Chain A
Amino acid sequence: MATLHVDIVSAEGEIYSGEAVRVFAPASQGDVGIAPRHAPLLTNLRPGDLRVETPEGEEKFFYVTGGVLEVQPHLVTVLADSALRGADLDEASAKAAQEAAEKAVGAAGDKKSLEHARLQLVEAAARYRAVQKLKGKKA
């Protein structure tokens, strides 16, 4: 029987890799079932269950929160998102990051120049080097 190679990966690690006879995935425009020799397809995924049928007759379930599905005649690649996504959620986390920036940086009263920062950094680096040197001498 013809089989497909399935790779399910997320940014945080590999989730599954193996052979399958059929794969069912929650594509953004409706569920798709993929059998070997499927036409090349590229689509977004929506949150839902991904089902893999192995040649041994086993069924494996994976929950995906979204991602991208790439199908080639004998290869299925699922690029799963590791976080729940969506326009609203992304917007919310962007807003949180912006607020954090304003809170952290805006709180400081008078801003010193970048030149000042550079000076302070040079000083810190020099101090660090001096300490390194001192350590060397003691040894």
Chain B
Amino acid sequence: MASLKEIRTKIGSVKNTQKITKAMEMVAAAKMRKTQNRMAATRPYADKIRTAIGHLFQANPEYKHPYLAHRENTSRVGYIVITTDRGLCGGLNVNEFRLLLNEIRDWTNKGVEVDLALLGSKGVQFFRNYDVNVVAAASNIGENPKVADLIGSIKIMLDAFEKGGQDGGIDRLFLLHNRFESTMSQKPAVVTLIPVEAPDADELPEHWDYLYEPEATELLTSVLERYIESQVYRGAVENVACEMAAKMVAMKSATDNAGKLIDTLQLDYNKARQAAITQEISEIVGGAAAVSE
């Protein structure tokens, strides 16, 4: 059995670790609430831009923007993958990568190539050693993602889409991020960015058209671009909320496990101490018996 001092040191070190995981749990819980608010804050913009697009469609139904058209032949697709920057968040990234690798396999079986844009350090790290086509990357998005950090990667994908799959570009664009279902449950999800699904236009009192400055097609492009960006931004914010929730749960179970470990060690310690006392008494008794004889 380990010596008393050894066990005591071990208990001390586990207690210190427990303090850290406890603190991390509380920090993650506080940050999760903040990011949830931020998630809610993205809603008005998304709703408004959706309405604007709906009006645009209604105003000129005959015009089909390239972002809305389903291309017949798909020879290459793009994925914008949002991952976390840091670990210690359970199986969050692993689940996401698994979904992504399955998607890549499905496309490869169909003879379609896949381009990736990686947002978040974990994704960049994971695909560093593998033979995938990474066209854009951004690490250290942070806990408070900014649209400015994301537009570079989005632009690369949009430019690739304009080129088309035949010329090394892409024919479809997807977004992969973790979806926040509840504090306990986060699931990776794929969202189709291009072709854009036409939102339902709410009814306008009568048929009327906008005045466009500059032309309608040009405007529609910039509105749709912003729409796609807002979706990616929302995905990034949601992914942070997922990270915090997963981290909170992971750290809570780490704290609980440390508690259990301390209990077991404490039991060992008490046993060892009792054994030492018993031994000492039997030694004294033995010694006294020897003297009295």
Which residues of A pack against B, CB within 8 Å? 7, 9-14, 27-29, 39-44, 67-68, 70, 77, 79, 81-85, 90-98, 100-101, 104-105, 107-108, 111-114, 116-118, 121, 124-125, 128, 135, 138-139
Contact = CB atoms under 8 A, between A and B. Distances in A.
B contacts with A: majority SS: helix
A139 B211 CA distance: 67
B213 A41 contact: yes
Interface centre among A29, A105, A114, A118 (most CB of B within 10 A): A105
Contact of A104 (B94, B124, B131, B257): B124
A98 B101 contact: no
Interface residues of B, number: 67
Given A39-B211, A94-B155, A104-B139, A112 B49 contact: no
Given A101-B137, A104-B139, A138-B257, A116 B219 contact: no
Contacts of B131: 111-114
Nearest to A42: B210
Interface of B: 38, 41-42, 44-46, 48-49, 51-52, 55-56, 90-91, 94-95, 97-98, 101, 104-105, 108, 117-118, 124, 126-132, 134-139, 146-148, 151-153, 155-156, 159, 208-214, 216, 219, 222-223, 226, 229-230, 233-234, 253, 256-257, 260
A41 to B, nearest CB: 5
B137 A68 contact: no
Given A101-B118, A125-B94, A125-B98, A14 B44 contact: yes
Q: Which 4 A-B pairs have the closest CB atoms?
A: A93-B152, A97-B152, A83-B148, A13-B41
A104 B155 CA distance: 19
Nearest to B47: A9
Nearest to A70: B52
A96 B108 CA distance: 28
Contacts of A68: 49, 52, 219, 222-223, 226
A123 B208 CA distance: 59
Given A83-B151, A111-B131, 10 more contacts: A11-B229, A12-B42, A83-B146, A83-B147, A94-B153, A97-B138, A112-B129, A114-B104, A124-B94, A139-B256
Contact of B137 (A82, A97, A124): A97
Nearest to A106: B134
Nearest to B126: A117
